[in-house]
Structures are given as C-alpha cells and as structure tokens.
Amino acid sequence: MLSDLAYRGRKIFTPGDLKPYQVDPVRFVYRLRRKGWVTGLKRNLYMIAPLEAGPAGAASHTVHSFVLAAHVVRPYYIGFWSALNYLGLTEETPSSVYVATTVSAKSRILLDVPLVIVTLRPWKMFGTTHTRIEDEEIVVSDPEKTIVDCLDHPEHAGGIRHIDRILRNELEHFDLERCLRYARRMRNTAILKRLGYLLELHGRYPDAERVRRFASGAGYSKLDPNLLAEGPFDERWRLRINEPRLRVGGWA
C-alpha cells in the first residue's frame, strides 16, 4: 500500500487517500508510525519514509522544505525571502520558509523546518509560477510578484535594505511594467511609493516617474514598516525615510 501511494504521488498523504485499500486508517497509520514507516506532519497528514531512510525510518528522513510547506495550507505559494533565494535574486538563504496563503494559520516548525505563514487578502494571491521539486508540483511567486510582495512586507524579506540591494543588482532581470501592474493590483500605495523612491535613488528617473503617476496617496508611509517612525519626510514620495542608509546620498 505504501509503495502504491508513493507511486501515485502520495508520499505525503491523508487518511482519505487510504479509502481504496479498504483498511482502518486509524489502526493502519498507528501501526506504521510505531514502526517508523510514516511520520505525522500535522493532524491527518502523514509522510512515507522511503526505503533508503533505513531502520530509523521516517524519523531520520527529510524532504525538501518547499514540499513540506506545500502541504500545510491551501491555497498557497512559496514567496518573499524564500522565493527571492529560489529564483536566484539573492544568495542569502533564509532560516525559515515563507508561505503565502489566504487562510488564517499559525507559523510552525515542521520536521525541524520553521514555516512562516503569511496571510494575504484574496486579491493579492496572483503572479505565480509552477516548478517541480521531488516529483511534486510546487507553486512559487514569479520574480515581479516576489519583489512587489517584499515591498508590501519588507519584514518577510530581510528588510528594505535587502530589497534595495536586490533591485540595484538585479534590476535588469525584472519586467518593470509587470511590477507596476502587479503593484497597482495590490491596493497598497505604499508599495508604489517604495518602488518609485528606490528607483529614483539609483538614478532610474524615467521609470520612477512612471511609478509616481500611480503613487499618490494621502499621508506618509514608512520606507521600512518594521523600523521606528523617525527620520526625514520625503514630500515627493510621501515617505518617512526611516532607514538612514537609503536617504539621498546615504550610500555615498
């Protein structure tokens, strides 16, 4: 049965997947967990240990962290810092896996993998691509949606300085028109303000001007929402520049 489950792509399975075998799922799972053939990931979700895991079974086996994350919540996509690293936009590897979803769920540790669950509004669940990892289809945000998400929540991407460094080094790899379309769909003008300010900071004036047409909004937003509300106000972008190293002339 385990071999057949694995063959059908159910290496991570639920009791409902056992119906075709006409077994008592409670007893079946209990016995296999006791013998180390499966391990529990969460309530009613289990992982099969492959033969190569040895006598220690599932307790010693690990799977790709994205595969684990894909089974925690639905709908979902791998995003923020995790997507930045996976897409090759940063060499910095986060200690956690960041998972975006529309459902309310708590962050947790699964098989020693810290999962940060970021709950988004339904209209923010777009801009994804599919990839295969360990024979499973995994949903990841595309480059433009990743950078827009990170500007929406810099705290899930290493802070605004990390995002700025990525924009400076990888700007030519982004479709800025797509970034702009995505940012407008997010219904948060702070994203546009941060994007335009960083573009202007590095001399991308025509691109910054295109962004500024849509970045109007009453009140000031913080350049980095995770830092204290201090520092000068930028009237042009309606931003509080609370990261000193990202002020005009700051890098110099």
Predicted pLDDT of residue 33:
83
- Where does 102-243 show beta strands of DSSP type E? 108-110, 113-119, 128-133, 136-141, 221-222, 233-234, 239-240
- Measured between its terminal Cα atoms, the distance across the chain in Å is 64
Q: Is the peptide bond before 206 cis (omega within 30 degrees of 0)?
A: no
Share of the chain above pLDDT 70, in %: 93
Q: What is the residue extent of each domain of the chain?
A: 2-61, 66-246
Strands 45-48 and 12-13: antiparallel
Average pLDDT over residues 214-241: 91
Highest-pLDDT range among 12-21, 46-55, 160-169:
160-169
- For tokens 């925690």, the residue is 72
Share of the chain above pLDDT 90, in %: 59
Closest CA to 8 of 24, 25, 20: 20
Handedness of CA 147, 151, 155, 160 (dihedral sign): positive
Confidence of residue 201 (pLDDT cuts 50, 70, 90): very high
Whether omega before 75 lies within 30 degrees of 0, making that bond cis, reads yes
With cut-offs at 50, 70 and 90, classify the pLDDT of residue 252. Answer: very low
Predicted confidence at residue 88, as pLDDT, reads: 94
For the residues 220-249, what does the mean pLDDT come to? 91
